[in-house]
Structure 1
Amino acid sequence: MRAKWVVRGLGMVVTLLCVLAMARFVWPQPGPGEQPGCTYRQLAFLRSALDDGADHEAQELFPEGYVFMNALYGLSWLQAGERDMARRPQALRESRWALRRLESASGTAVFDPRMRPAYGVYWAGWSNWLRGRVIALGGGDDELVRRFEAATAELADAFTASATPFLAAYPGQAWPVDSTVAIASLRLHDRLRVPRFGAVVDRWLAAARDRLDPATGLLPHEVSATDGSVLEGARATSQTLIHRFLPEIDAEFARTQYAAFRRQFLAYPGGFGPALREFPHGRDGAGDVDSGPLVAGISLSATVVGMGAARANGDRELATALGATGELLGLPVTVPGSKRYAFGLMPIGDAFVVWSATARPVVQPAADFAIRWWWRLPWLLLVTVVALAPWIPLLCRRIRARTAKAFRAG
């Protein structure tokens, strides 16, 4: 008897969790111009995780883990502060705290100071973007402005002296996404300060257009650090980051690139979706440290970051759909003052989620984007089956009992 009630109790828990998941799934998601109500709870969890060393743990997973954790935390606060005047002082404190960590010995430890720019374009680009965004929100004292001016000039000199538009992040290794972030920081400088680097950005755009992946027409994933020739074609893990920053650089180029990316990477595997393939349609490959394990060709990390790319490019339909799917599959846990995904086991994932969810629209799309109108139905059917599964044996027993009783009565 006790075992029966334990089984029924577990069944009730499963059913209630499924109902809660469906409620989260169908609840309206904030559009690109709106901020999620859970933003500050997510940031509170991230700060707690960083205080406990989550950035050092992320560094053990991949070489840029420490920088990403702190940069995304600071940038997410700045994005929230843009919409919430009352929170701006806190946003500036937290983002400057994150910037100090980027500029610390721990932040530069895995990068080469002898490179041009110093520590390579990945570290230089992300740290300079964060500096510029702090200044843009009104938190730039004389020293920070001086460092921003100097770092931007160093980046501009490196691009001017390079034979390729794609600078190296590590000796002999170059990924176009890193140079895209750095170029966005040059464009940001010219919006905030006396314009100086327009010619450098224009030359970069022209050179980048000449080195697109011939198979997709998109910026490639990896290139030769010597001449910028394509080593690996476009992949979603870098594309989703690229499309967060291209709108900051050139609106028209961003629109055409995003449309091509969406057309070639958006997928509905087995009818479920929308989600983002790691490789374009017609090309398959294995997952790696950047993409994580691939499920039916889908990169979960790229799909998370893709929500921010959709928001930045004014793609409301895709942004809200990816947000809703994350609430269904991301195992969110909300308690007073904190929210985390996947039970908080991977804080680096939470950092990408909140950075993506607080992204603001930068450009308006050239055309209306759409997704399948019935995209929710497969997910709702699947969750309904899971919710009912614990009760199917009980239902079958009752049906058999009633059938037997009717047979005996007859």
Structure 2
Amino acid sequence: MIRVLRSVVVLFVLAVTGLAGIEVSRLHAPSPLERTGAQVAADALPRLAFLRQALDRGSARDMQALFPEGWFFSYALYGLTWVDVGSHSPAQRDRALAEARWALSQLDSADGRAVFDAALDPPYGVFYQGWTTWLRAGVVALAGPGAPERDRLAGDAGALADAFGRRLDRTGSPFLTAYPGQAWPCDSVVALAAVRLAGTLTGTDRSALVARWTKAADTRRDVATGLLPHTVDAVTGEPTSGARATSQVIILRFLRDLDPGRGAGDWIAFRDRFASDVPGLPGVREHPTGEDLPGDVDSGPLFHGLSASASAVALGDAVLYGDRPAAAALTGLAEGAGLAVQWDGTRRYLGGALPVGDAFLAWSLAARPWTGDNLTAATGPSWTWRLPWYAVLALLLAPAWLLALVAARIPPLGRPPRATPPP
């Protein structure tokens, strides 16, 4: 019995030590900036395999029950990640095109438009048209000359450009509505980036519109942070709330394609005001430092002011802006806190309970610039952010190893302890 007990204790201690070692290795997982394009693509494949399985089982409808665009994002991010994978790895190009086109067909369906209003300008609103046009542009860019989506892309981008022009002419606002009477600047940034990229792909110059839009948007920035606001008045475009991480990380991702210099400046300002101050958790705050407000349907639950969804998307921003320290920290945090499990060719986080969260993370980890040159805007924390994790793991391991030492000193049954010989 004593031998069996010792064996059980040894196996337990080895298992706990092994899990701690895995956790440490995850904290040091290489970011996309430390990998080749082929490695980034290879890393994305098991993530995409899980997402496709989840979508086929109806996960998009499950995610729709959690927030208003859950269905839409489930398919859009899946398609966008495949576009990036096809660009990272030419060997995956044909498969990437097929999967991205399948995702685009879902967005083009009645289900894809179900929660949006056809009476808006543009039809179904700027959120729907912006993201759909961006994915279509990605498909055209990946497919190359002769892509069958090219004419549709030109038409949709032209309609978006006209809608921006009408809004600027009538009210001076650069922000279109996503839902009746509601406007979020992040949706218009996505849409204008799609218009500009579509113009590049189809030979249409949109520089005048981009310059006009940027001038109007700059006059409506959040005074407190200098960043674009979270929400604005649907008519005038004047801010109705300050900058928040949930929308800012989307703005930064697409501002990179609209105006790389302005985007890099905003990334630095964002990191200065929204970077985590919680030891061991180098994510991003939903609200600026000093504003301890609760989460809502946009941000989801907050932990000490930190937004898990915004932190996942910020990882992609760090990659696009060439911020190696931030990309390394956010990658390590995602892998360390996500409790990822990989088997049978799939990789999922938190047991696969929130597939749209996996989709945002996959999109970030596969991020690559669609236009422009590489940037370098380093703002992230040093490697010391991991020290609290080391300390916690050491505290958890100490009792296990103490138990192992105690078990090693228990004598076998039926034999008294060896007496200490007299001097």
Question: TM-score, normalization: structure 1?
Answer: 0.92
Other-structure match for 2:388:
378
Q: Which amino acid in 1 is paired with 2:400? A: P
CA RMSD of aligned residues (A): 2.6
The answer to whether the Cα contact below 8 Å between 1:121 and 1:178 also exists between their aligned partners in 2 is yes
SS in 2 for 1:275: coil
1:138 aligns with 2:147: no
Other-structure match for 1:103:
108
Task: Give, in angstroms, the shift of residue 387 of structure 1.
Answer: 3.2
The answer to whether the Cα contact below 8 Å between 1:177 and 1:242 also exists between their aligned partners in 2 is yes
Structure 1 runs not aligned, ≥5 long: none
Q: Which amino acid in 1 is paired with 2:44? A: T
Other-structure match for 1:34:
36
1:187-336 alignment runs, 5 A limit: 187-269=196-278, 271-336=279-344
One of 150, 153, 157 as aligned partner of 1:148: 153
1:87 aligns with 2:89: no
One of 182, 185, 195 as aligned partner of 1:176: 185
Task: Give, in angstroms, the shift of residue 367 of structure 1.
Answer: 4.9
1:57-76 alignment runs, 5 A limit: 57-76=62-81
Distance change in 2, residues 1:150/1:60 (3 Å): same
Distance change in 2, residues 1:392/1:359 (3 Å): same
Other-structure match for 2:414:
none
SS in 2 for 1:117: coil
In the alignment, the residues of structure 2 paired with residue 28 and residue 198 of structure 1 have an alpha-carbon distance, to the nearest angstrom, of 37
Greater displacement, 179-188 / 335-344: 335-344
The answer to whether the Cα contact below 8 Å between 1:224 and 1:231 also exists between their aligned partners in 2 is yes
Distance change in 2, residues 1:33/1:128 (3 Å): farther
Distance change in 2, residues 1:295/1:370 (3 Å): closer
Distance change in 2, residues 1:239/1:405 (3 Å): farther
Other-structure match for 1:119:
124
Distance change in 2, residues 1:186/1:33 (3 Å): farther
In the alignment, the residues of structure 2 paired with residue 91 and residue 192 of structure 1 have an alpha-carbon distance, to the nearest angstrom, of 19
The answer to whether the Cα contact below 8 Å between 1:15 and 1:388 also exists between their aligned partners in 2 is no
Other-structure match for 2:400:
390
The answer to whether the Cα contact below 8 Å between 2:29 and 2:331 also exists between their aligned partners in 1 is no
Greater displacement, 391-400 / 321-330: 391-400
Task: Give, in angstroms, the shift of residue 16 of structure 1.
Answer: 2.3
Task: Give, in angstroms, the shift of residue 186 of structure 1.
Answer: 1.0
Task: Give, in angstroms, the shift of residue 19 of structure 1.
Answer: 1.6
In the alignment, the residues of structure 1 paired with residue 402 and residue 127 of structure 2 have an alpha-carbon distance, to the nearest angstrom, of 54
Task: Give, in angstroms, the shift of residue 334 of structure 1.
Answer: 1.1
SS in 2 for 1:273: coil
Distance change in 2, residues 1:19/1:128 (3 Å): same
1:325-345 CA-partner distances (Å, limit 9, x unpaired)? 211111111114111111111
Q: Which amino acid in 2 is paired with 1:39? A: A
Task: Give, in angstroms, the shift of residue 366 of structure 1.
Answer: 6.0
The answer to whether the Cα contact below 8 Å between 1:190 and 1:198 also exists between their aligned partners in 2 is no
The answer to whether the Cα contact below 8 Å between 2:9 and 2:407 also exists between their aligned partners in 1 is no
In the alignment, the residues of structure 2 paired with residue 156 and residue 394 of structure 1 have an alpha-carbon distance, to the nearest angstrom, of 69
Other-structure match for 1:185:
194
Greater displacement, 28-37 / 336-345: 28-37
1:25 aligns with 2:35: no
Distance change in 2, residues 1:406/1:323 (3 Å): farther
SS in 2 for 1:31: helix
In the alignment, the residues of structure 1 paired with residue 242 and residue 148 of structure 2 have an alpha-carbon distance, to the nearest angstrom, of 41
1:32-84 CA-partner distances (Å, limit 9, x unpaired)? 77343321111111111111111111111111011101110001001011021
Task: Give, in angstroms, the shift of residue 191 of structure 1.
Answer: 1.6
Q: Which amino acid in 2 is paired with 1:268? A: D
Identity among equivalent pairs (%): 43
Q: Which amino acid in 2 is paired with 1:122? A: F
Structure 2 runs not aligned, ≥5 long: 412-416
In the alignment, the residues of structure 1 paired with residue 166 and residue 15 of structure 2 have an alpha-carbon distance, to the nearest angstrom, of 63
Q: Which runs of 4+ in 1 moved over 6 A?
A: 1-8, 396-401, 404-407
Task: Give, in angstroms, the shift of residue 220 of structure 1.
Answer: 0.6
SS in 2 for 1:334: strand
Task: Give, in angstroms, the shift of residue 396 of structure 1.
Answer: 6.7
Q: Which amino acid in 1 is paired with 2:233? A: S
Q: Which amino acid in 2 is paired with 1:371? A: P
1:99-154 CA-partner distances (Å, limit 9, x unpaired)? 00001011000000110011110011000000001000126756522211111111
In the alignment, the residues of structure 1 paired with residue 419 and residue 258 of structure 2 have an alpha-carbon distance, to the nearest angstrom, of 75
Task: Give, in angstroms, the shift of residue 28 of structure 1.
Answer: 3.2
Distance change in 2, residues 1:296/1:7 (3 Å): farther
State which structure, 1 or 2, has the greater radius of gyration over its C-alpha atoms.
2
